[in-house]
Amino acid sequence: MDHVLSRLPRWRDDNVLVGFETSDDAGVYKLTEECALVQTVDFFTPIVDDPHAFGGIAAANALSDVYAMGGRPLTAMAVLAYPASGDLEVLEKLMRGGAEKIHEAGCSLVGGHSINEEDVKFGYSVTGTVHPGKVWTNAGARVGDVLVLTKALGTGVIGTAVKRGMAEEADARAAEESMLQLNKGAAEAMAGLEVHGCTDVTGFGLLGHAREMGLASGVTLEIDVEAVRFLPGAERYAAMGAVPGGTRNNQEFIGECVEGRSAVDDLLYDPQTSGGLLAALGKHDAAVLVERCGSAFVVGSVVEKGRRPVRLEGRKR
Ligand code: CO
Ligand code: CO
Ligand code: CO
């Protein structure tokens, strides 16, 4: 879609603070000097069998893009593709799981749209607000910043292992819990800190989203491979070949932007669903964030722009 969008004419509007040009998480539109709208939409096919959990994950994933911009979600609209002949009890579980998660975020479900289709797809369009001067874009990372990630990686690999019947129940549960976890707490832990850059780690994997921040900020993001944390079982399942197709696409698309390789590349490129926030902050603020947010950890640092927007350090092949 990026390719096609880039070919469309641009109608300039000074109130558009963040448009589609910088691969940011959400669009931001200034309403007044104190208030801007944050708007995003995300939907996908079921990634877990339990419809209630899938609904919650779809909601957490859609809300995440508002948090990643420093915004507060206010309203959500459901986007649904479901077969007319489908099981209505299953649908109710799905919608209920989503609605409960939207409510947990302090956000109001105000409507939605559904179409009749064989393959189920579900998600939300979420609208929030942010102060126009406090938008966390991809573009502000500075040399010397520390990179913090707020969730462990591996949801793609574990989802694939579950589909192939390879995953242990406890590992599947841990991945599901991670995807259900709202990024609200992480965003609140960042409130009051000087956040230079922020995005959530989703379909393009850690390195794909690091690439976007590196390019938008005109710096190189150095990822410390030894410091990256993985969900329980993720490294083992990746070694057993439970690698989703999206990982290879990411490697093809992003690989040339990454200097260095590691033994855990399959996880660094692993497409995440409802992944954590990746933030660039000064050294002190990064330490405060890690202290405040239990699941957060330092994952690298921002260095002078090198040959490529992302560089791997440690555990090279
Ligand atoms: Co995003
Ligand atoms: Co998104
Ligand atoms: Co952002």
pLDDT in tens, 45-55: 999 999 999 99
Q: What is the pLDDT of residue 116?
A: 97
- Which stretches of the chain score pLDDT less than 50? none
Q: What is the pLDDT of residue 314?
A: 87
Q: What is the pLDDT of residue 248?
A: 95
Q: Which residues surround ligand 2, an ion (CB under 5 A)?
A: 42, 65
User: Cα Rg for the chain, rounded, in angstroms?
Assistant: 19
- In the chain, list all ranges with CATH 3.90.650.10: 146-313
Overall pTM > 0.85:
yes
252-269 burial, b at 16+ Cβ within 10 Å, e below that, comes to eebbebbebebebbbbbb
Q: What is the pLDDT of residue 104?
A: 98
What residues contact residue 60 under an 8 Å CB cut-off, 6+ apart?
Answer: 101, 179, 180, 181, 182, 183, 274
Rounded to whole angstroms, the Cα distance separating 242 from 208 reads: 20
- 2-134, what's its fold? 60s Ribosomal Protein L30; Chain: A; (3.30.1330)
How many CA atoms lie less than 13 Å away from 39 in the CB half-sphere?
Answer: 13
Q: What is the pLDDT of residue 317?
A: 53
Q: Which residues surround ligand 1, an ion (CB under 5 A)?
A: 25, 65, 200
Query: How many angstroms separate the alpha carbon of residue 47 from the centre of ligand 2?
Result: 16
Query: How many angstroms separate the alpha carbon of residue 88 from the centre of ligand 1?
Result: 31
Bridge partners for 82 per DSSP: 116
- 146-313, what's its fold? Phosphoribosyl-aminoimidazole Synthetase; Chain A, domain 2 (3.90.650)
- In the chain, list all ranges with CATH 3.30.1330.10: 2-134
